[in-house]
Amino acid sequence: MRLAIVGAGAVGRSVAELAGDYGHTVTAIADSSSAAVDPDGLDVAAVFERKDAEGRVGTAEPEAALDAAYDALVEASPTTLDDAEPGFTHVRTALERDRHVVLANKGPVAERYEEVMALAAESAGNVRFEATVGGAIPVLSTIDNLGAKNVTAARGILNGTANFILSRMAAEGLDYEHVLAEAQDLGVAEPDPTFDVDGTDAALKCVILANVLHDGGYTLADADVDGITDVPGSALDLATEDGRTVRLVGEVDDTVRVGPRLVPGHGTLAVSGTENIVQLETRYAGRLNISGRGAGGPETATAVLGDVGLLE
Amino acid sequence: MSDRAEADVRAYTVRLELVDEPGELLRTLEPIADNGGNLLSIFHERGNLTPRGHIPVEVDLEATPERFETIVEALRDAGVNVIQAGRERYSEEVTVLLIGHLVDTDLSDTFSRFEDCGEASIADVSLSAPHGTDEVSSALVRIVAHEGETDRALAVARDVAAEKDLNLVEPLTPGGEA
């Protein structure tokens, strides 16, 4: 397949670098200020050498990537809230051209799910977005397999940064600020970790899950969201003494809630480090637990390229 | 066949709060015996104080429902603080974390109000204030509740926490963990 990739951050870059292994050709890559386009296939290594040296992937306008020759558009630009722009327009442009869309950007399916689905219904192209929930963990394809109506609830640990901070605080008896600084040094937390620690990122994933389970109807505004910034080390110490711990848990049934919750210290949900886990409650088959790496370039690219494979 | 009233004798648990004064326990037991209750056991938690600073006492007794009502009334008339008068023991429990300026916002009052719904009681509290009581502190609170009342107890705790600007960290599955 010919891929156009919008977004040249960790995920977009990994998709481009791994696409060849999966037998695909990258015909366009765009970052926020430029694009590189070659209908015969880009030299991905050369594009990112340029990006590293000059801060841009090419000399064309970014919009040129959307007009390029491709079979599937990979939307991996940063997630934006509310109108989910410019990601939403990228999705619309590709679908109106009857091309497929694979999203790593959470915005369009969290904030404008029904509009995205309506556009897809009118298009010869399909929309897939496995990468938006739980990184490499096959959450949406599992729900697809089970049938959304057979999944009565979902919950999980869907933000690796918040989980890393809470598990380090509990293990080392350290306070939030200390562990956050360590996480930033390790590259586990972004320089601006707001969306990770205030629960927004986990909430977006839960909203997407709610949209999938209920065929739309949810945006971030419908989620009850609380973060981890107000959880002191002393609270984790008390929980640990009682055989429990605190995790940032997202819960989806008819409602969407994200917040710190007490969980058993050695329970299924007490994953440590940056690990993510999703629990699905099924109508006829009890509970399913799926865990793995919920973020990172190659991990998220694995989900993106899995989706691309399903479009062939 | 025994008569109906006899067959209707049931076991009850009465939870009382006593002021720590001589004769207080005896004063409590008299109305029970006087009104036809059969004392089964008395659990006098000396050394343990309720959030109000009283001594909690749990009394198990047998009586018919009518006699039991008379007993509870007689206890209240005698000025005994009856916290719980019911057939069931607390059969559910839920543990929560409470975080914030716990001392400044009157921890005793917070806990009393957790119990105000009448269906729940604070069973255990661990408090941690590593930076002194002026800073944010944490409390792990075990709440016991009557069957099916955990959600109500949690809702009350949620309201009190919100009003006092405290953070309440709830367990994932109220009433017990999978």
| Contacts A232 to B, Cβ<8 Å | 99, 136, 138
Q: Does A230 touch chain B (CB under 8 A)?
A: yes
Tokens (6 digits) for A143:
């729900």
Mean pLDDT score across all residues of chain B:
82
Average pLDDT over residues B126-134: 83
Cα atoms in the Cβ-side hemisphere of radius 13 Å centred on B55: 16
pLDDT category at B173 given cuts 50, 70, 90 is low
The reply to whether residue A251 touches residue B172, judged by beta carbons under 8 angstroms, is: yes
Q: Does B140 touch chain A (CB under 8 A)?
A: yes
CA A133 to chain B, closest CA, distance in angstroms equals 21
pLDDT of residue B87: 56
pLDDT category at B84 given cuts 50, 70, 90 is low
**Chain B, nearest residue to A157 by Cα:** B172
Q: Does B110 touch chain A (CB under 8 A)?
A: no
H-type alpha helices, chain B: 4-7, 24-34, 65-77, 107-115, 150-163
Beta carbons of A125 and A95 less than 8 angstroms apart: yes
| Nearest CB partner across the interface for A261, out of B99, B140, B172 | B172
CA A235 to chain B, closest CA, distance in angstroms equals 5
The residues of A annotated with a catalytic role in the active site are 205
Convert the pLDDT of each residue in A228-259 to its tens digit.
999 999 999 999 999 999 999 999 999 999 99
Q: Does A248 touch chain B (CB under 8 A)?
A: no
Chain pair A-B, CB pairs under 8 angstroms: 68
CA A216 to chain B, closest CA, distance in angstroms equals 25
Convert the pLDDT of each residue in B49-68 to its tens digit.
777 778 888 888 888 888 88
The answer on pLDDT for B89 being more than 70 is no
Mean pLDDT score across all residues of chain A:
96
As a whole number of angstroms, the distance between CA A235 and CA B25 comes to 38
As a whole number of angstroms, the distance between CA B94 and CA B175 comes to 5
| Nearest CB partner across the interface for A238, out of B126, B170, B171 | B126
The reply to whether residue A235 touches residue B177, judged by beta carbons under 8 angstroms, is: no
How far from each other are the two terminal CA atoms of chain A, in whole angstroms?
Answer: 7
The answer on pLDDT for B43 being more than 90 is no
As a whole number of angstroms, the distance between CA B29 and CA B78 comes to 11
| Contacts A264 to B, Cβ<8 Å | 177
The H-or-E segment that residue B84 falls in is strand B81-86
pLDDT of residue B148: 82
Q: Does B99 touch chain A (CB under 8 A)?
A: yes
Query: How much is the pTM?
Result: 0.81
Least reliable range by pLDDT among A34-38, A281-285, B23-27: B23-27
| Contacts A248 to B, Cβ<8 Å | none
DSSP-assigned beta bridge partners for residue B15: B58, B84
Convert the pLDDT of each residue in A196-232 to its tens digit.
999 999 999 999 999 999 999 999 999 999 999 999 9
Tokens (6 digits) for A113:
């799910």
Beta carbons of B120 and B144 less than 8 angstroms apart: yes
Convert the pLDDT of each residue in B143-170 to its tens digit.
988 878 888 899 999 999 999 999 999 9
The answer on pLDDT for A155 being more than 80 is yes
**Chain A, nearest residue to B172 by Cα:** A261
The answer on pLDDT for B3 being more than 70 is no
**DSSP per residue, chain A:** -EEEEE--SHHHHHHHHHHGGGT-EEEEEE-SS-EEE-TT---HHHHHHHHHHHSSS-SB-TTHHHHS--SEEEE-SPP--TT-TTHHHHHHHHHHTT-EEEE--SHHHHHSHHHHHHHHHHSSS-EE-GGGTTTTS-HHHHHHHH-GGGEEEEEEE--HHHHHHHHHHHHHT--HHHHHHHHHHHTSS-SS-HHHHSSHHHHHHHHHHHHHHHTS---GGGEEE--STT--HHHHHHHHHTTEEEEEEEEESSSEEEEEEEEETTSTT---TTEEEEEEEETTTEEEEEEEE--SHHHHHHHHHHHHHHH-
| Nearest CB partner across the interface for B128, out of A237, A251, A261 | A237
Convert the pLDDT of each residue in A64-116 to its tens digit.
999 999 999 999 999 999 999 999 999 999 999 999 999 999 999 999 999 99
The reply to whether residue B170 touches residue A261, judged by beta carbons under 8 angstroms, is: yes
pLDDT of residue B178: 39
pLDDT of residue B78: 83
| Nearest CB partner across the interface for A231, out of B99, B137, B177 | B99
The reply to whether residue A231 touches residue B167, judged by beta carbons under 8 angstroms, is: yes
pLDDT category at B20 given cuts 50, 70, 90 is confident
